[in-house]
Structure 1
C-alpha cells in the first residue's frame, strides 16, 4: 500500500472488454494504484443475453456492465492506493467511441426497461458494431450530393462506427425503439450522467463521431430529413445535453455514487473524452507535429495541428477537440491487436498459454528479417477505417507458399499494420501537415518491441514510448485534475496538468536506414493491393462479405 497523497485524481478508462481505474498524484504523476474489472457480458456479438440471434457484424454491450465494472475497479484501486476519500481531487473518464445507446426520459438505457430486453436495437451498440454500413453509405451518398460541409472534417466520408449511422439503423430496422428513445447518447456521456445526475454531450465524442463542429454545430435539419423524413429534428429531439469540452467540470459525484465508490460527495467529474484522445494527453502531446499512436485491439493515430486541411480519410478534424486552440486530427486502423490475437489463436494449442504463443511468434518473426518472407498483407480484418472508411473490406495475404512459416506470417501481419500507418502518414504529408515524430502508447506498445522497431523502419520516423502503460487512463486522470482546479489539489491549465502528470521514456527508437529500401519496395506492393481492392477496381471483398449474410 502506498502512503496517501495530498492530491490525487482518478482516471477511469472504459475499453472494449474491461474498465481500468488509476489513481494518480496530481503534483507528480506518480501512479499509486491501478485496477481492472472485466465486463461480465463482454462483447455481445452472437446472441442477446436472454437469447435471440444477432446478425453479421453486430457488436453490442450491456450498459449495466459499465457501472458494475467501474465500481469494482475504482474501489479496488482506492483500497490499494490507501487514499482517503478527501484526497481525491477529481474524476475523469475516457470511453470507446462511438459506443451509443438509446435512453428514456429518466436517463435509463432502453434495454433495461420491461419489454425491451429482447430488442437488439435497445442495447448499447459498441464502437465496432459494423452492421450499419448500409446506413453509412446512405449518409455519405446524400451528404455528397448535398455538398454538406461536414464532409471536409471527416476525409470526405463518415463511418458505420459513428453515431448517426447507428441511429439511422435503429430507425430503419426498429422504428419503435427510435421513437421511444428520448435520446441516443454516447456511453461516455451516459456513464458521466449516472455519476453526476447531469447529462451533457462531450465535445470530443460529438465532434469526432457525431458530425458536430464548434463553428457550425450539428448538420442542418434538411440534411437529416433527406436521410429520412422522420429524422428531420434528430439533432433537436434525440441529441440532448449541452456540448461540453473535455476536462470541464460537469458536476459533482452524487451522494449515492459517493457511497458506492467510497469517495466524497461533490467530487468534481470532468466531461469525458474518447479513449484514444485521452491517450494523447497521457503521452505528453499538447503541441503540433508529434503523432500519437494508440496501439491496442485497434489503433488510433492522433495529431495536433494549427490549421485545418482536408486530409484524405481522416476520421475527424475537430477544433478544440483535444487541446484548446489546436485542431485535433484522428485517423485509425480498425484492427491491429485483434489481428495478432486472431492469428495466435489459430496457431496456438490448448496446452500453451497465449503469452507463450505470442513470445514464440515474436521470436520467429524477428528472425525472418524485414520483409524477407516474400509476403504482403492488407490489414483489413475488421474493415478499413483510414483512409478508405469502408467496413466491407476484409483481410488479404499474398505470397503464401508451402515453405511459409507461422513466424513469417505473423511478421507479415505486423508489417501490414505498419504499412497501414504509413499510408495514413502519406495522407497528412500530401496536405503539408508535418509529422516529425511518433509517440506510441497502449498495451501493444508495451508488449512488443518488435512492432515498434518495424513501425520505425517502415515509416522512417523516430518513435518514443509513453512512460505510463495506461496513457488513456492517465489522460482521463489529467482531465479529472483539470476539472478539480488548483484550489482542490488539481491544476488550472491543461498544459500544466500534462507537464506535471505525464512523461516519456528516455530511449528513442531510431529508424534503421538499411531497412528502408526493402520496406519501400514492399510498400509499393501494398499500395497496389490497397488501391485495387479498396478503390473499386475489384469488389470481391464486398461480394464475399454478402455471401456470409
Structure 2
C-alpha cells in the first residue's frame, strides 16, 4: 500500500531584543504549522550586571548568552510539539538575530562573560544593537575616515554607527584593554548562535558587510586602525574568517544541540543572518525597488537594487547583502515602537488608564482610538523621532526627541498622534534620500508587530503617498529563517525561488487618501525644517544643543561636574 510521506518542514528561530521565537514551516508552501516564544529572563541589561553587579554607564545595553540558549531548549521543542511533527520531518534549521549584537569570546567560542575572571566586567558581555555608549568612538572613526578619504565610507552614507562592530570594539579596547586582549574572537551573535548549533565558526556576508565594514573583499586597513589607536591595529584578526553565502549550509546539528532542540543530529544548519534581512524573503520583497520596513521597537528598512549609489546616511550598501546578484541597502530608525511605549507610560493620566481598564483596552489601543478622531494637523504639534538617537539619515545617537507646539490644551492622544506621525515622517526622509540618490523605490511593504495597528498603517500610507503592503505572517523574521533553511537543506536552488513558494505578502492593503496626504505634506515640511536644524546645524544651536544637553545629563549621572572632575 502506498503511503503519503510526511510533509517536510524547516524550523526558523528569530532572536529578538526581548525574546526568541521559533516557527515550524511547511517546505512546500510556507504554511506556518506552529510557533513558540521564550522571553529572555534577563531581557536587556541596562543599569547593572545581573545579581546587583557592576553598575553600567549611560546608553549601555547588554545581554546574557544563556538567555539565547534557553530559546533553543524551550521554544524550539515546544513549537515542534505544537506542530505535531516528528524529528525526521525536519530537514533544516535557520536562525536570525538582532544586529549589531556582538560579543567577545575565546577561540573556542566561549563568551568571556561566562568565565569567572571576567564575570564582573561589563565589556565581557554581549553588547546589544542599541548599546550607544560608543558614540564618541564612532565619531573618531568617521572623522579619520573622512580625513583620509577611505573608500569604504561612502558605502555607509558617509558615517558608520556607534551600534556597529568597530565602534564597540574600539570602546572595549580603550575602556577595558585586558578584556580586549582576552577576546580571541569578536563575533556577531548571529554567527555565535550558529556556532552553538554546529560546533564550528562561520561568518555570514550580511553582518560582515553591514556591521563589519567588509567591502570589496576586505576590511579597513591595519594602518587606518592604528591611527585610531596603536593597540587597534590588529583588530581585524578577531573578525577574519572566510565568509559564507546567505542561504548556505553552515554545518550540521551537533549532538548537544540536537538534545536541546529535539531535532535529529546532523540536520543541516543554515548560515546566520540578520532579522530584518531574512524578512525580505518572507515578505517576497526581493525585487529591485521593493522597500521593506520591519517595524517594531525600531524600524529597519531593506531595499534591493541593481543600482549602486552613494545614499547619504544609509546604514550600508552591500553586494549580495540580502540576496545574491543585487545590491542590498539598509537604513533604519533607532526608535519607533519604543517611542510609542514611552508615550503610553508617560502621558497617560489616571482618568485615561481607568477608561482603558473599564473597556478592556490597552493604553495603546485607547490612545490610538482617540488619536484617530483628530483631523490631520488638528493637534498643532510636530515631533522629532529621535528618543533613541537617529540612525538614518543623520547617523547620530546623541540626538534626542523633540515635541513642538505644546499648549495647556494639548491632550495625551494628541501627543501620541504626533509621535506616530514623526516616525512616518522619518521614514519619508529615508525614502526621499534613496530616490534623490537615484535608487528608485517602487513598492512599500511593512512587517513586524506594528503592522497590526490599522490606524498607523493608514497614516504611513497617507504620509508616504504610497500604497502599503503587509507581510502575510506574524513571524516574519522566523519565517524568513525557515525559508533560508530550506535553501540550505537543498529543497530550493536559491533564495528567490524559496521566497516565491514560501513567502507571504498582501498587496495594497492601505491606500493614501488625497486630502489627508495633502495635509500631511504641510506637516512634513515643518518636520523637515526641524530635522535639518536640529540634526545638521552644529555649533551654538541645533544638534549642538542636543549634544550639550546629553553631555550634561551623562556628567550628572556619573557624578562628575562639567569639567569631568569627580565631585
Range class of TM-score, shorter chain: over 0.9
Q: Does 1:438 align with 2:444?
A: yes
Q: Matches of 1:185 and 1:505 in 2, distance apart?
A: 36
Q: Matches of 2:494 and 2:7 in 1, distance apart?
A: 19
Q: Matches of 2:390 and 2:318 in 1, distance apart?
A: 21
Cα pair distance change 1:279/1:502, threshold 3 Å: same
Normalising by structure 1, report the TM-score.
0.96
1:464 corresponds to which residue? 469
> Is this contact kept in 1: 2:72–2:260, CA < 8 A?
no
Deviates more, 1:171-180 or 1:533-542: 533-542
- What are the residue-to-residue correspondences of 1:195-206 with 2, within 5 Å? 195-206=197-208
Cα drift, residue 17 of structure 1: 0.3
Cα drift, residue 507 of structure 1: 5.0
Given the alignment, which residue of 129, 134, 137 partners 1:135? 137
Q: Matches of 2:335 and 2:114 in 1, distance apart?
A: 30
Q: Matches of 1:217 and 1:86 in 2, distance apart?
A: 41
> Is this contact kept in 2: 1:139–1:227, CA < 8 A?
yes
Q: Does 1:358 align with 2:360?
A: no
Secondary structure of the 1:60 match is coil
Deviates more, 1:381-390 or 1:345-354: 345-354
Cα pair distance change 1:69/1:167, threshold 3 Å: same
Cα drift, residue 241 of structure 1: 2.7
2:381 corresponds to which residue? 375
1:385 corresponds to which residue? 391
Cα drift, residue 240 of structure 1: 4.0
Q: Matches of 1:190 and 1:231 in 2, distance apart?
A: 22
Secondary structure of the 2:118 match is coil
2:230 corresponds to which residue? 229
> Is this contact kept in 2: 1:4–1:82, CA < 8 A?
no
Deviations 1:310-343 (A, max 9, x none): 0111001010011110001000000000000111
1:78 corresponds to which residue? 80
Q: Matches of 2:479 and 2:108 in 1, distance apart?
A: 31
Deviations 1:121-155 (A, max 9, x none): 00010000000001000100111111111111100
- What are the residue-to-residue correspondences of 1:73-472 with 2, within 5 Å? 73-213=75-215, 215-235=216-236, 237-348=237-348, 356-446=362-452, 448-472=453-477
Cα drift, residue 261 of structure 1: 1.2
1:63 corresponds to which residue? 65
> Is this contact kept in 2: 1:95–1:273, CA < 8 A?
yes
Deviations 1:284-312 (A, max 9, x none): 11211111010000001111100210011
Q: Matches of 1:482 and 1:412 in 2, distance apart?
A: 43
1:497 corresponds to which residue? 498
Q: Matches of 1:341 and 1:72 in 2, distance apart?
A: 28
Q: Matches of 1:425 and 1:4 in 2, distance apart?
A: 47
Q: Matches of 1:443 and 1:103 in 2, distance apart?
A: 33
Cα drift, residue 508 of structure 1: 2.6
1:10 corresponds to which residue? 11
> Is this contact kept in 1: 2:97–2:190, CA < 8 A?
yes
Provide structure 1 residue ranges, at least 5 long, that are not aligned to the other structure. Answer: none
Secondary structure of the 1:425 match is helix
Secondary structure of the 1:118 match is coil
> Is this contact kept in 2: 1:20–1:70, CA < 8 A?
no
Q: Matches of 1:371 and 1:149 in 2, distance apart?
A: 44
Cα drift, residue 505 of structure 1: 2.0
Q: Matches of 2:219 and 2:240 in 1, distance apart?
A: 12
Secondary structure of the 1:59 match is coil
RMSD: 1.4
> Is this contact kept in 2: 1:436–1:461, CA < 8 A?
no
Q: Matches of 1:147 and 1:200 in 2, distance apart?
A: 31
Cα pair distance change 1:59/1:329, threshold 3 Å: same
Cα drift, residue 262 of structure 1: 1.0
Secondary structure of the 2:107 match is coil
Cα drift, residue 115 of structure 1: 1.4
Q: Matches of 1:261 and 1:68 in 2, distance apart?
A: 10
> Is this contact kept in 2: 1:4–1:83, CA < 8 A?
no
Following TM superposition, where does structure 1 have runs of at least 4 consecutive aligned residues deviating by more than 3 angstroms?
347-355
Secondary structure of the 1:137 match is helix
Secondary structure of the 2:220 match is coil
Deviates more, 1:8-17 or 1:217-226: 217-226
Cα pair distance change 1:12/1:347, threshold 3 Å: same
Deviations 1:178-222 (A, max 9, x none): 000101100111110010011111110110111002x23211111
Cα drift, residue 356 of structure 1: 1.9
Secondary structure of the 1:161 match is coil
Secondary structure of the 1:404 match is coil
2:553 corresponds to which residue? 548
Cα drift, residue 482 of structure 1: 0.6
> Is this contact kept in 1: 2:281–2:496, CA < 8 A?
no
Cα drift, residue 517 of structure 1: 2.1
Deviations 1:14-37 (A, max 9, x none): 000000100000101100000000
Cα drift, residue 381 of structure 1: 0.4
1:47 corresponds to which residue? 48
Deviations 1:226-280 (A, max 9, x none): 1111111211x21143211221100000011112211111111111111111111
Provide structure 2 residue ranges, at least 5 long, that are not aligned to the other structure. Answer: 555-567
Cα drift, residue 375 of structure 1: 0.4
1:518 corresponds to which residue? 519
Q: Matches of 1:506 and 1:426 in 2, distance apart?
A: 22
